[in-house]
């Protein structure tokens, strides 16, 4: 790794040693909290690296400021400075990701979807066959949270090879750094559009892809197609042939419900039937991104729901 990456790793390790923890909210909630009187400047590590507020150098350990400078992640203004990265907690792990607000096209997002995804992933790992060599493939890995969290869950039982893939080079950089911060071995990052650059079969293929229509086409948010789930459909279709015998696909995604109809499930059904797939399909949150209902294409929807598809050969399908 380059010196800038090593500096971020050292910063993450210092934050862990200091007992730093932060749960990241939605951007709208983040804005509301930061807008409160008295929250103009950060006076704690959580304020600096979680809430991402401007701060005075003297209010933060000098080594941490120096590491931010070495990583070229320190934004300097006339009266204060600000971190260009944030750090978020997930169980006992810590992840670096993009600063607030996540408006740039290549922003690497971490937030409520990450927590919901990994909670669903923990449940989906139950009963997974762990004999022999084991490979985890995280498609559209972002910060790497899904793959690295899954690896942590499986480490006591098996030593997995982990492939973290994304079309965003910044995401892969953060994923490598996060693997190092959390001491997860055998991690390989691949710049790939779904499986274009991946030839390995996966015992566990996971994905938390973008699933909205985003007018700014941000990589972490825009899923393509009429309703934003085109990428999710492609991941399912291509993953089926990449699963090792006894392997499992876990897809966390979103769907508009229009007139009581789950549009993603309606589009997914013929694909699964044609491939004779056995699966479980579950709605785990009935109402996310409610603000999207104010504009097209979701101004036709009753709601946007979060769903999890778990696909595995040899099991009965339920939904």
Give the pLDDT score at 275. 85
Residue 248 is predicted with a pLDDT of 95
Give the pLDDT score at 126. Answer: 87
Q: In the predicted model, what is the mean pLDDT of the chain?
A: 93
CATH number assigned to the domain covering 112-312: 3.40.50.150
pTM: 0.93
Peptide bond into 101 cis (omega under 30): yes
For residue range 19-32, list pLDDT tens digits in order: 999 999 999 999 99
Q: pLDDT value at position 315?
A: 47
Per-residue pLDDT band for 192 (boundaries 50, 70, 90) equals: very high
Domain residue ranges in the chain: 3-90, 112-312
pLDDT of residue 316 exceeding 90, the answer is no
123 CB-near residues (< 8 Å, 6+ apart) = none
**Is 70 exceeded by the pLDDT of residue 52?**
yes
What are the tens digits of pLDDT across the range 61-87? 999 999 999 999 999 988 899 999 999
Q: pLDDT tens digits, residue range 99-111?
A: 999 888 899 999 9
What pLDDT does residue 215 have? 79
The 3-class SS string of the chain reads CCHHHHHHHHHHHHHHHCCCCCCCCCHHHHHHHHCCCCCCCECCHHHHHCCCCCECHHHCCHHHHHHHHHCCCEEECCCCEEECEEEEEECCEEEEEECCCCCCCCCCCCCHHHHHHHHHHHHHCCCCCCCCCCEEEEECCCCCHHHHHHHHHHCCCCCCEEEEEECCHHHHHHHHHHHHHCCCCCEEEEECCCCCCCCCCEEEEEECCCCECCCCCCCCCECCCCCCCHHHHHHHHHHHCCEEEEEEEEEEEEEEEECCEEHHHHHHHHHHHHCCCCEEEEEEECCCCHHHHHCCCHHHCCEEEEEEEEEECCCCCEC
Residue with the two structure tokens 């009965």: 316
Residues above pLDDT 90, as percent of the chain: 82
pLDDT at 314 over 50: no
Statement: residue 312 has pLDDT above 90: no
Residue 130's pLDDT band (cuts 50, 70, 90)? confident
Stronger pLDDT, 285 or 221, i.e. the higher one: 285
Return the ∠ at Cα 139 (arms to 135 and 142), rounded to 5°: 115
pLDDT at 313 (0 to 100)? 54
């Amino acid at each position: 790794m380059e010196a800038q990456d090593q500096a971020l790793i050292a910063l993450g390790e210092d934050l862990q040693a200091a007992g730093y923890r932060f749960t990241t909210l939605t951007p709208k909630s983040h804005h509301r909290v930061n807008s409160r009187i008295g929250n103009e400047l950060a006076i704690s590590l959580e304020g600096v690296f979680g809430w991402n507020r401007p701060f005075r150098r003297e209010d933060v350990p000098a080594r941490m400021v120096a590491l931010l400078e070495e990583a070229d992640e320190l934004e300097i203004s006339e009266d204060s400075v600000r971190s260009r990265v944030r750090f978020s907690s997930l169980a006992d792990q810590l992840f670096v990701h993009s600063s607030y607000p996540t408006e740039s096209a290549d922003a690497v997002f971490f937030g409520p979807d990450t927590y919901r995804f990994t909670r669903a992933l923990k449940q989906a790992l139950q009963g997974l066959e762990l004999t022999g060599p084991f490979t985890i493939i995280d498609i559209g890995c972002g910060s790497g949270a899904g793959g690295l969290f899954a690896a942590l869950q499986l480490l006591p039982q098996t030593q997995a090879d982990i492939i973290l893939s994304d079309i965003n080079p910044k995401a892969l950089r953060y994923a490598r750094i996060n693997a190092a911060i959390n001491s997860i071995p055998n991690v390989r990052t691949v710049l790939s559009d779904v499986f274009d650059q991946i030839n390995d079969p996966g015992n566990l293929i996971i994905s938390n892809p973008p699933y909205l229509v985003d007018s700014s086409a941000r990589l972490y948010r825009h899923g393509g197609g009429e309703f934003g789930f085109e990428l999710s459909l492609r991941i399912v279709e291509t993953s089926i042939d990449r699963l090792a015998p006894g392997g499992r696909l876990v897809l966390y995604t979103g769907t508009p419900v229009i007139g009581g109809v789950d549009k993603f499930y309606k589009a997914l059904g013929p694909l699964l039937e044609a491939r004779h797939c056995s699966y479980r399909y579950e709605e785990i949150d009935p109402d996310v991104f409610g603000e999207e209902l104010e504009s097209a294409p979701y101004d036709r929807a009753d709601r946007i729901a979060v769903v999890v598809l778990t696909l595995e050969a040899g099991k009965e399908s339920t939904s």
